[in-house]
Structure 1
Amino acid sequence: MLRRPARVLWWSARVLWWSARVLWWSARVLWCVLLQRRRACWLQLAALALLATFCVHVLWSSSAEHRRTKRQLLRRLAATQRSPGQRPSCSAGARGTSPRAWLAVGSPQLGETGPYRVVYDYAPAVKRVTGNRSVTYCTHVTAERLERTAALLTRWDGPLSVAVFVLPDELCSLAVQLARLRRCTPGFRRRVSVHLVYHVARAPNLTRLAPPDQLAPSDCARPLPAPVSERRRLRLPYPVNVARNAARRAARTHFVLSSDAELLPAVNTSALFLQLMARVGRGEEPRLAVTSRQVYVLPVFEVEQRMPGNKSDLVGMLRSGEAVWFHRHVCPHCQRFPGVSQYTTKRFTPGKVAAFSVTYRQVPYHRWEPIYIGTDAEPLYDERLSWEGKQDKMTQMTALCLRRYRMVVLDQLYLVHAPQPGGIRRQPGFTDPADAWRAAFIEENQRHYQRIVARLPTPAPSSRPATLHYTASVSRMARVSKQKFSQLGAEKPSGGRSSARLELLCDLARLRAEREGRLAARLAA
């Protein structure tokens, strides 16, 4: 049987041939009827009518063949997206499978009152790592991008917790794809735990869904059809913060790194970080041995083509222009960390991680969105903000600021965005025509952001002697913040009075932390 392209060419050639014959016979019959006026011309006219009928039949057959081929392609596409209740290969009624009751619970922040539900440990990792034995990389993806998590296994040496946002038509293809990854990708089944996130208004059919390990094995050498997502066409928001919170909540280790699947860490990040924490516990790092809350920031970079092997390689790429800090040309303030100009010149000891800089999230870094290693005790991400609306981590950063968290930037641990087509992105996001569709989501995020900031409490004065002059400090910090705004100019946040109030609250919290630290030092002396 001919393949589809050859069959289409054959039918096209046949239609052209018979069309040419009809035109030739039409011209001949018209010449005969109009000029010769013989009886034989009428016989030729009848033959032309029969020929025209046959050509119509050929055209109809070719269009029917086209429609039949199109239906076959649509059936093949639907076979990868059909719900589990309609496709036996991923349902609990398939051979060798058994039904299982999947428990869906509310999201970590909004709970049952929110519009999203989470199914924890749909595909749990075989190796369970708990406590301080490692650091869990917590990330999130949509159903059609699950394979991106496989690249993390080559660079991350600890467990991974992945939250996947899924639509009803994507559930079966996700289960098949996940079964293939757990069978064919080394380390995936051993170290990666997968959790499902969905909207209650578009809930998938979980009643007949089988665990991925019970599905029929697939040929690892044969690629699966590329999954197709309907989320963009339906203009559905991606609940990025729900997925972030779910992945972090499911982690079993004390320390977690909440990041994106496209951000690849430095090699042996987990082991090097735990060595640093061991030195802090032994009192060998007095700069980090403090009683106040702190998180450990990993600077984020983007590259032209290749990934750096270590910090020395990264420094060389930064000097040659092959790498820059992440979104330097798109959103300069988003990932510009304190001391970025000294990152390539400050000395470090290879293999021994130390603090590059220690700071608070304050002006001119009041819009900085760092990615850090922390614990599950840190504030959750606000689940009302979507990925399409941008700046989805700002409220969580504000909560860290108001709780007087210190930001410890590490010198040899970093994150690098996976190389993109075209290299380093240089088109600002707010002028990129490809981002125009996000305008409605950006406005919605801004409305949520304004309401969240308006409800933030003002830091209350403490009963300690160090805060007796709290009222005077408020007015002094207000003057300082006003001067900083006038000096920064373009750095002034776009949130208006809410952003200004936000900065003032963060400065007040930082002032309290510094003052209480000086008091504690005097009392200890």
Structure 2
Amino acid sequence: MRSSPPIVWLLVLLVVTVLILQVIHLVIFSCLEMKKTGKLKTFEKISQRRKKGHRLSYFRMDTRGSYQIYHSVSDETDNNRLPKDSVTMVTHCSPHNMHYLPALVERWKGPISLAVFTSSEDFQATLSVIHSFSSCFTDIRNHVQFHLVLPMDTVDQIRSLNLTRRIKIPCKNLNSHIKTHIKTKNYALQGVPYPNNLLRNVGQLAARTNFVLTVDIDLLPSSLLFSQTLQFLKYESLTQSYKTTAYILPVFELEDGKPVPKDKPEILDAISDGTVRQFYTEICYRCHSPTDYESWIKTKSAVDSLHVAYAVEYMPLFEPFFIVHKSAPLYDERFKQYGYNRISNTCELYMAGFTFVVMDSGFLVHQGYKRKETFHTSKDKENAANRELFSQIVDELHVKYPESVGSCRNQM
């Protein structure tokens, strides 16, 4: 037999090479296009090393491959011992705002899942701050899971990140160290938008309890809220509708310098004194008014327990803070920076058939009045862009929930 010409073998080799490259291409893009299903996918493990009790568990990219996510960069918590039908507080921030954390854990005596947005430049410094907060505060060490999110940079920059190198910062110097050594701030990383909804999803997906309470890191809960929810959900989780109910907590603004009310009697006194008012009164009154603060004030409730006070109707622009089952729709990660990021999620809950109820004694407090002049300068421009995105998403939700009896179209 005559041997095949060299050109034939060359063609065969080229075909095989192309097939191999296509397989690699498909594998890579399958990883990038992981869909949000409400459950964590199996992440690529990059390290199981421990250093002084700190586990570096998983690395993954977000669904669009724009961010790298490090789960449980510091985790010595005892959260696995909690009953599943309890609540994890989910929150997010840049490392510059981690100074809010000690006051938060002092009020919330339960698990916290915190997603921190940083950059390659601040990565090592952020790890040191996390390590030091955990070392300096027992409650942080016992209750807080930390997750790091940062933009995808060049491959060399990613490979150069040292996941175990940390510097111990003296406890008394923590806040000053953050101010002088951390450049990453909420809404202020040059050229990189703050991915608030991605951060919320990272925290929610990592929660080890069946319920989550997603809040901003500068909000403080009433002092008994976690223990109250444990008792409430013990029985509420036996009902038919607990997976499709949003349990709303009224949120207030407190005048600067005033002590934060611990329970409902104290906040009612502060309301009477005029030092506390509805959250976002000046910025977006309609965003929280459907909670019906007047009815909440009139509702009698025990200090040490938590119950449903009344149901409320969904209204345009509604963006309450609420306890919800972990299987609830996640936040749309296309929203970044300021505007419509939580409004869109409440809209989806409404179209998915969720019921909104207000709790009788628990609440949240923001220290300081929210005023327009305190926002970053690009807020209005970002809000306009996100309004356009929201309009698009409402159309998508009508396709996703064709049987929905309601609509969010009248919000625009």
The TM tier, using the shorter chain, reads: 0.7 to 0.9
**Aligned with residue 103 of structure 2, among 130, 142, 151:** 151
In 2, are the aligned partners of 1:134 and 1:159 still within 8 Å (CA)?
no
In 2, are the aligned partners of 1:118 and 1:195 still within 8 Å (CA)?
yes
Q: Secondary structure at the match of 2:357?
A: strand
Sequence identity percentage = 23
Q: Partner of 2:275 in structure 1?
A: 322
Whole-angstrom CA distance in 2 between matches of 1:229 and 1:345:
46
Residue 333 of structure 2 corresponds to residue 379 of structure 1:
no
In 2, are the aligned partners of 1:102 and 1:206 still within 8 Å (CA)?
no
Q: What does the per-residue CA deviation read over 1:381-410, in whole Å, with 9 as the maximum and x for residues that have no partner? A: 11111133x121122111111111001100
Residue 94 of structure 2 corresponds to residue 142 of structure 1:
yes
In 2, are the aligned partners of 1:297 and 1:371 still within 8 Å (CA)?
yes
- Most deviating of 185-194 and 195-204: 195-204
Q: Which amino acid aligns with 1:446?
A: R
In 2, are the aligned partners of 1:101 and 1:207 still within 8 Å (CA)?
no
Q: Partner of 2:364 in structure 1?
A: 415
**Aligned with residue 452 of structure 1, among 390, 393, 405:** 393
Q: Which amino acid aligns with 2:390?
A: Y
- Most deviating of 443-452 and 197-206: 197-206
Change (3 A) 1:121 1:281: closer
Q: Which amino acid aligns with 2:358?
A: V
Q: Which amino acid aligns with 1:371?
A: F
Please show how residues 245-260 of structure 1 align to structure 2 within 5 Å. Answer: 245-260=201-216
Q: Partner of 1:397 in structure 2?
A: 346
In 2, are the aligned partners of 1:245 and 1:381 still within 8 Å (CA)?
yes
Q: What does the per-residue CA deviation read over 1:99-144, in whole Å, with 9 as the maximum and x for residues that have no partner? A: 998742133xxx2x24122111111233133543631111001021
Whole-angstrom CA distance in 2 between matches of 1:290 and 1:257:
18
Whole-angstrom CA distance in 2 between matches of 1:260 and 1:102:
25
How far is 1:433 from its partner? 8.3
**Aligned with residue 234 of structure 1, among 180, 187, 190:** 190
TM-score by length of 1: 0.61
Report how many residues are paired.
Answer: 353
Q: Secondary structure at the match of 2:310?
A: strand
- For the pair shown, the structure with the greater C-alpha radius of gyration is 1
Whole-angstrom CA distance in 1 between matches of 2:316 and 2:159:
43
In 1, are the aligned partners of 2:66 and 2:152 still within 8 Å (CA)?
yes
In 2, are the aligned partners of 1:338 and 1:357 still within 8 Å (CA)?
no
Change (3 A) 1:353 1:101: closer
Higher share in helix: 1
Whole-angstrom CA distance in 2 between matches of 1:100 and 1:294:
35
**Aligned with residue 271 of structure 1, among 222, 227, 232:** 227
Please show how residues 489-508 of structure 1 align to structure 2 within 5 Å. Answer: 499-500=409-410
Higher share in strand: 2
- Most deviating of 437-446 and 402-411: 437-446
Q: What does the per-residue CA deviation read over 1:447-469, in whole Å, with 9 as the maximum and x for residues that have no partner? A: 3212212222265459xxxxxxx
In 1, are the aligned partners of 2:229 and 2:306 still within 8 Å (CA)?
yes
Q: Secondary structure at the match of 2:70?
A: strand
In 2, are the aligned partners of 1:382 and 1:395 still within 8 Å (CA)?
yes
Q: Which amino acid aligns with 1:410?
A: M
How far is 1:323 from its partner? 0.4
Q: Which amino acid aligns with 1:160?
A: I
Q: Partner of 2:319 in structure 1?
A: 369
How far is 1:240 from its partner? 0.3
Change (3 A) 1:354 1:208: closer
TM-score by length of 2: 0.77
In 2, are the aligned partners of 1:122 and 1:211 still within 8 Å (CA)?
no
Q: Secondary structure at the match of 1:162?
A: strand
Whole-angstrom CA distance in 1 between matches of 2:71 and 2:115:
9
Q: Which amino acid aligns with 1:142?
A: S
Q: Partner of 2:16 in structure 1?
A: none
In 2, are the aligned partners of 1:99 and 1:209 still within 8 Å (CA)?
no
Q: Which amino acid aligns with 1:372?
A: F
Where structure 1 has 5 or more consecutive residues not aligned to the other structure, the ranges are 1-91, 283-287, 463-473, 482-497, 504-525
How far is 1:374 from its partner? 1.0
Change (3 A) 1:101 1:373: closer
Larger RCO (CA within 8 A; separation ≥ 6) = 2
Residue 29 of structure 2 corresponds to residue 119 of structure 1:
no
Change (3 A) 1:461 1:454: closer
Residue 117 of structure 2 corresponds to residue 165 of structure 1:
yes
Q: Partner of 1:17 in structure 2?
A: none
Change (3 A) 1:98 1:176: same
Change (3 A) 1:317 1:221: closer
Q: Which amino acid aligns with 2:281?
A: R
Change (3 A) 1:105 1:316: same
How far is 1:241 from its partner? 0.4
Change (3 A) 1:359 1:439: closer
- RMSD, matched Cα: 3.1
Q: Partner of 2:59 in structure 1?
A: 104
In 2, are the aligned partners of 1:132 and 1:254 still within 8 Å (CA)?
yes
How far is 1:311 from its partner? 0.3
Where structure 2 has 5 or more consecutive residues not aligned to the other structure, the ranges are 1-46
